[in-house]
Each structure stands twice: as C-alpha cells, then as structure tokens.
Structure 1
C-alpha cells in the first residue's frame, strides 16, 4: 500500500512545474519552437544540416523506394538534425557554466561533435545504399 506523503514544508514548489494537461503541452510546444528557432538563427551547423534536409527529405518522398526504405531515408536525415540539437544544447550548457578552457568541457563538446559525425556517417551510408542505386538507375534510363 502506497501512502501519498505531502512535500516537506521547507521545500518550495517549483513554479515552472505547476502546469498540467493542455497548458503543459502548450508551453512545451512553445519552448520547443523557441529552441528550434534559436537553432535556425544562431547555429550555423544546424542551418547547414537543415539545408541538406530540405534537399534530401523531398527526394526521399519522391524516390521510387519501398515504404521501409523511405522511412529509413527520412529517419537518417532527421536523426542528424536531432543529434545536432542535442550537441548544441551540450555546448550551450558547457558555455553557460564557464567560458574558460577545461579538459572536461572540451571532452563533452568533442563527444557531442562525434555524435553528430556518427549520425552524418549513418545518413551517408543509408542514402548511398538505399537511394544510390535508385538514383543511378534513374540517371541511366534518362540518358539511354
């Protein structure tokens, strides 16, 4: 049997955690859009990857591939954007703590950068193996 204990008197409730239901979802959406907007306007790497996504996502929709292949193509592109957002948040948190150079700060930023590199490699491998042969065949039939 679980007993619902009230919070200790000396602990003040967090004013940012009081929303529930639709209001919580609405505020979460606003925060998410704010983060996306900040990434677009302040992070050049995110803008570059977003430009790549603007080319690859429509291509994935229109390429004659199976539904599973389409999901893999789209998912690999979205994964790059997701990992870049996480990397940017790591960098922002490290910079918030201190702008001085520190080995652990460098390591955290390098790990985030490595994660982006792995996601980009996965995206390249996915597109090369799934879309590459299809695009080559489309070019071959268009030329001959």
Structure 2
C-alpha cells in the first residue's frame, strides 16, 4: 500500500511543481530585475538599453542626455550672445553717437560749413598772435608769388608753401584748444602735444623758406647784378 501511494503521489507532486514553476515563470515580466546572484550590473546594462520601466537606469541616461543638451544649449547661447554682443565705445568699429549738428545735406551743409570756417578764421585772427604774424607774411608773399616771372609749376609751389604754413598753424591752434578744453593743468603729455604742433609749424616754415630761396633766389640775384 505504501509503495502504491508513493507512486500515485509522485506524478501528482510532479504535476503541481510543473504548474507552480510555470506560474512563477509567467509572473516574471520581461523588464523585471532578473539579476543573477554574483552578476552585478547585468540588469542595469539591460535597463539602459531597453529601459523604459527601470527608473534608475533611465534616470541616469536621461540625466546625462539632459546635461549634454543643456551644456550644448548654454554653449550655443553663449556663442550667439558673443556674436550679437554690442561693441564697446572704444572699439573702432563701433558706430558713432548721433550728432544733431551733422543732419544737414546738400547746399545747406555747404552753407553751414562756410560759416563755421569763417568763424574759425575770426577766432584764429583774434586769439592767435602766431597766426596773425604768419597771415601778415602771407599777405606779402602771395602777391609777390603772383607777379614773379616763373613757370606755372614754380608759381604753384611758391603759393602752396605759404598756404601750407597757414594750414599747419590752424591745426596747431585747434590741438592746443582741445588740450586746454580737457585740462589747464601742467602735464607732460599736454606739453608734448603742444610741442609737436609747434614742431610741425616750424617744418612748414622751413619748407616755405626753402621753396622761395630755390625758386626766387636766382631771380633776385640776377636783378641785383643787373642793377649794379
């Protein structure tokens, strides 16, 4: 009897084990953690590839993607801002500020420019003694340059050398006025700028004297010899 009972219970127990094992296998979902003991990181690697349902792996992957995307976005925005960043006032390519006094066009601009130039001549004659002296010299030399018997090129050189002295003196006076506008205190750079302007005037005077001596000198010597 015991042998028959054991033989009868054997198949039934085997069938129950098979049913239970099939139930356990069916209850395991494809994406559940089926990590084997001693195999670390297998489920994480599976979840990173497939892992829509695994929070840890997907969070790491999505976090890395978000970090890279945010880094790329920040880098693109910084480069875009660097390209569109407004130029500083010291940059030579920066646009000049709007000047309401330069809004005239055509004949109106020419008329205002002529009035400003005449005002500059009046100020130079009234305030600059050096310009008055050079203007007196020009009043003597320009008529002489017009009547002296020389070729047209030499005549232009004579008159141009005299006008060059007046031009350089006007520029020197404008530099001195700008320096005095900034500050009236004694400063090495201010003194250097004014000295450079005076040196420019001296060079222009030397060129004028050299031109007149070279062109008019032989004529004067011939006139003196013929008179004696």
Q: Give the structure-1-normalised TM-score.
A: 0.89
**1:5 alignment counterpart:** none
Indicate yes or no: 2:119 matched with 1:119: no
Larger Rg: 2
Rounded Cα–Cα distance in structure 2 between residues aligned with 1:60 and 1:74: 6
Show CA shifts across 1:36-84 (max 9, x none). Answer: 1111111100000001001100000000111000000000000000000
* SS class of match (2:150): coil
Show CA shifts across 1:80-114 (max 9, x none). Answer: 00000000000000011100011110111001000
Rounded Cα–Cα distance in structure 2 between residues aligned with 1:111 and 1:12: 30
Give the counterpart of 2:186 among 101, 111, 115.
Answer: 101
Rounded Cα–Cα distance in structure 2 between residues aligned with 1:136 and 1:64: 14
- RMSD over equivalenced CA pairs, Å: 1.3
* SS class of match (2:149): coil
| Stretch moving more, 75-84 or 127-136 | 127-136
Greater relative contact order (Cα 8 A, min sep 6): structure 1 or 2?
A: 1
**1:58 alignment counterpart:** 143
**1:79 alignment counterpart:** 164
Aligned length: 133
Rounded Cα–Cα distance in structure 2 between residues aligned with 1:77 and 1:69: 13
Show CA shifts across 1:3-48 (max 9, x none). Answer: xxxxxxxx98421111000000100000000001111111100000
User: Gapped runs of 5+ residues in structure 2?
Assistant: 1-95
Which stretches of structure 1, 4 residues or more, deviate above 6 A after TM superposition? Answer: none
Give the counterpart of 1:17 among 102, 111, 115.
Answer: 102
User: Gapped runs of 5+ residues in structure 1?
Assistant: 1-10
Q: Give the structure-2-normalised TM-score.
A: 0.57
